[in-house]
Structure 1
Amino acid sequence: MTVDEIGERLGAHVAAGELLGLAWLVAIGDDVTTGAIGHLDATRATPIRTDTIFRISSMTKPLTAAAASILIDDGVLDPADPVDRLLPELANPRVLAKPTAEVTDTVAANRPITVDDVLTFRLGWGMDFADFSPKPFDAAWSALGLGWGPPTPARMLPPDTWLRRLGTLPLQYQPGERWLYHVGASILGVLVARAAGKPLSEFLAERILRPLGMTDTGFSVPPGALARFGTHYADIDGARTVFDPVDGQWSTPPAFEGGGDGLVSTLADYHRFARMLREGGELDGIRVLSEHAVTTMTTNHLTAEQLARGGPGPGDSAGWGYGVGVQLRDQPDGPRAGAYGWAGGLGSTWSNDGAVTAILLTNETWSSAGPSPVFATFEQILGETARRRDPL
């Protein structure tokens, strides 16, 4: 598939007004091709470039999981250990008697929350992809100001305050019982910071970002780089509305460095991270993770029963490793079994499928119905490329 063919297929979505702009990367081994289509904002004055900085939201999760995996490699963390030692706020948890119960109707947890529970999103808190109906727990969560929905880094509580308030709530399910989305990554960011004895941003920079040369990835955009950072948009009642301006929530360092959704990055930076994983934890002679850690990150940990009750993909098509979704079956015109990666609700996606890496970054938030059609087109491009493995 040629560069022009990829650009034409993705560009049709921009031309149709589905989104203002995007940047893409498709790599087969060391053969890397990128493109940029559309504009940074609704004025259409500044084109998006391949070095544009984007809010990557949930594509933060794999980086936070990699940081925790480094600490496991170092012997600082053990997946089997309870988190109580570093997160005493979460000791002796109570559990809702049933998911729809009032928050005062609880039973004792069967066991403590472990590091592995947090990494695999089976700690007992999170979004249930199989049931979005409102419950008393949701109201209690919101009343405590713990943050729910699209990332809002400037409005989040400091991490110690956030965790202390979180610890006053019961778990929704017993530790290890269910896969529930997102909250585990937020907790994991705090766990990494406490285990490392420094802010999450510093540990990421020291052990992942600087070693890999990821110079444009962080929890905020420095003033000198704001020219490469655009406005982000959301569809509200059918109208394109500003979600975050250039000088908005990512223009200054946040109090809460969100391990689940807080980072910004570029095509080139994220490709460095993806290549490191694809090459077994080492890139350009620099080892970031052990091969065992990469295998553990990119292997499904969910049981068949857990997948049947609600996992990261439709039905039981995808499982969960450490911070990444893992494809369990070949998808027609899409990723193959064994592919792994993750997407962000602010309009981004990444996957490694064999020797093929694919990244798509946009400036439009997904709607409540899910990703916009351009993402299905990109998955088809990835699937076709992975099956053909033709040089671009």
Structure 2
Amino acid sequence: MTTPAEAGRAALAARLDEPTLRRAPASIAAVVHDGAIVAVSAHGEPRRDGATTTPDTIFRIASMSKSFLGATALSLRDEGLLDLHAPATDYVPGLASARFGAERVGLTLDALLSNRGGLTEDNAWGDEHLGESRAHMAAVVSDGLALSTRSGTDYQYSNLGISLVGRAIEAVTGRPVEDVIRERMLDPLGLRDTRAAADLYAAGADLAAGFRTFDDGASFTPEPYVGSGALACIGSLFSTVSDIAAWMQFLVSAFDDDPADDVLRAASRREMQTARTLMPTSPWQSTGRVLDGAGYGYGLVVEHDRRFGRIVQHAGGLPGFSSHMRWQAATGVGVVVFGNSDSFGAGTIAGDLLADVLTRLDAPAAIVRPWPETVDAARRIDELVRTGRPLSEASALLARNVLHDVPEPVRERRLAEALAKTGPVRTDAAPFAARILAAPDRSALRWSVPCERGALVCDVHLVGLRAPIVQEVEIQVAEAGGRKPVDETARVTDHHRVILD
């Protein structure tokens, strides 16, 4: 079986070619698993002074900072100090002047943090204002903000909007938001190389300088660090691949069977990684990855990949830097990519790298442990199908709608028609557990019944009462591969790994 380290080394060798690497004076890409770097590739000179890039080189991570802000806001929410659904004017009075046309709007921190506040996309403007003073930005907000869409309805990436969550944190703590993030997240997690400004590092620290290129890496010009001011909470952090690997593990561990609640409750970490604002997926389709959906959570982007399930990610970009982190919730396998040029394209590189690694691992899209009642009901129905007995013999397991929705004579006729195509059920079938095909979630199970000229695909779906009972049973002819019903389209559930407890 291929290990994450083996898959990571192979993917790095395949993906980091010369045309990619030439777009930044220095770059690093790491494949991580369970918080540890299992494969890494470092290139170039971070300051173009002869010193080479190492895994300890510190890069600016820009908007990846938003995940730290989101986690800090939720920690304050959990303690009752911040209400994400209260009027944002409770914390930032200047927002009272925000308008959609002539309409006064009621913004919430929830809407701002999940990029549906109605404030327009502002990446170019936000980069230039990262270092502005709090007094200046307070005056800008109080002077009036014009919303381009109705608040709470549409996704628009607003640096200014998310920065106002930082102002709310300062209002309830009486401290600079950067200090609150450090005290609540960075220090407790031991992220010692992650800081909010370059001058917080010791003299001689291995800090990557920023550069820009306008000729695809043929030449570079130095780009001074954008300042760390009122908008710093949304894009100012510097970090290393090791610290980000640990941060990713802290977040993805919320999906473990028995996750710890240290630093931030697991439920709150899952909130961060749950889509809250619908995002258009057309840009993703051009990359070759097929998504069933995507959305912005709290400081993180959530993709629902048709092959690999929940992928959580965030990019970072400032003049002179490009960064990206992404991971798969099911396995904890992820990648971190940094480059010290805004033309590097860390997001595309990271997306291709993770897809390559997960493909080499044949990673499951999710791991599902069905309810015992689901398995018991499926076993009983499998027995009835294989022995040619009516479903009504399992009536104690069925909700009353099952035999009403499809009357037993109709169900028996349909099964006979299916068997006419597949031939009789074989008597030498493998044990039930070996014939399980998929489980969308704990309440449902799909398995196969081998026949002389093909197979049947059986599905059972329970309703989650105190004692779960069957609400749907379906038996269909399998396609040639024997794993899906004829003409069923590809689904992410085809790649779920089922574990029977």
The TM tier, using the shorter chain, reads 0.7 to 0.9
2: CA distance, partners of 1:364 / 1:37? 15
Residue pairs, 1:331-350, within 5 angstroms: 336-345=308-317, 346-350=321-325
Deviation at 1:12, TM superposition (A): 1.8
Deviation at 1:237, TM superposition (A): 5.3
1:8–1:361 distance in 2 versus 1, CA, 3 Å: same
* Matching residue's letter, 1:116: D
Query: Would the aligned equivalents of 2:37 and 2:242 in 1 still touch at CA under 8 Å?
Result: no
1:259-299 per-residue CA deviation (whole Å, 9 max, x = no partner) reads: 22111111111122111111129999771111221121111
User: Does 2:177 match 1:188?
Assistant: no
User: Does 2:271 match 1:296?
Assistant: yes
1:284–1:53 distance in 2 versus 1, CA, 3 Å: farther
Deviation at 1:14, TM superposition (A): 6.4
Match of 2:186 among 209, 224, 228: 209
Q: Tell me how many residue pairs correspond in the alignment.
A: 344
Query: Would the aligned equivalents of 2:295 and 2:302 in 1 still touch at CA under 8 Å?
Result: yes
Query: Would the aligned equivalents of 2:58 and 2:239 in 1 still touch at CA under 8 Å?
Result: yes
Aligned to 1:323: 299
Query: Would the aligned equivalents of 1:57 and 1:262 in 2 still touch at CA under 8 Å?
Result: yes
1:161-212 per-residue CA deviation (whole Å, 9 max, x = no partner) reads: 2032123232222211211103222222222222222001110111000000
User: Alignment partner of 1:279: what SS?
Assistant: helix
Query: Would the aligned equivalents of 2:25 and 2:48 in 1 still touch at CA under 8 Å?
Result: no
1:352-372 per-residue CA deviation (whole Å, 9 max, x = no partner) reads: 2022122111112137xx657
* Matching residue's letter, 1:9: A
Residue pairs, 1:302-317, within 5 angstroms: 302=277, 306-307=278-279, 317=293
Aligned to 1:179: 155
1:315-335 per-residue CA deviation (whole Å, 9 max, x = no partner) reads: 97421111111012326xxxx
* Matching residue's letter, 1:263: L
Residue pairs, 1:272-287, within 5 angstroms: 272-280=246-254, 287=262
Aligned to 2:111: 117
Identity of aligned residues (%): 22
Aligned to 1:90: 95
The structure whose Rg is larger is 2
Aligned to 2:395: none
Aligned to 1:26: 31
User: Does 2:235 match 1:261?
Assistant: yes
* Matching residue's letter, 1:337: G
Deviation at 1:311, TM superposition (A): 9.0
2: CA distance, partners of 1:115 / 1:311? 28
2: CA distance, partners of 1:90 / 1:257? 16
User: Alignment partner of 1:165: what SS?
Assistant: helix
- Stretches of 4+ moved more than 4 A in 1? 281-286, 310-316, 370-373
1:56-101 per-residue CA deviation (whole Å, 9 max, x = no partner) reads: 0111111111111111111111221011111000015211xxxxxx
Structure 2: stretches of 5+ with no match in the other structure: 1-5, 286-290, 365-501
1:313–1:79 distance in 2 versus 1, CA, 3 Å: farther
Task: Note the aligned Cα RMSD (angstroms).
Answer: 3.1
**Larger relative contact order, structure 1 or 2 (CA cutoff 8 Å, min sep 6):** 1
1:228-249 per-residue CA deviation (whole Å, 9 max, x = no partner) reads: 112212222556433534xx44
User: Does 2:362 match 1:383?
Assistant: no
Aligned to 1:233: 211
Deviation at 1:38, TM superposition (A): 1.6
Deviation at 1:2, TM superposition (A): 4.8
2: CA distance, partners of 1:73 / 1:284? 17
Aligned to 1:224: 202
Match of 1:198 among 175, 181, 184: 175
* Matching residue's letter, 1:327: E
1:111-132 per-residue CA deviation (whole Å, 9 max, x = no partner) reads: 4101211111111113189xxx
1:30–1:218 distance in 2 versus 1, CA, 3 Å: closer
Structure 1: stretches of 5+ with no match in the other structure: 96-105, 130-146
User: Alignment partner of 1:188: what SS?
Assistant: helix
User: Alignment partner of 2:309: what SS?
Assistant: coil
- Of Structure 1 and Structure 2, the greater strand share is in 2
2: CA distance, partners of 1:68 / 1:20? 36
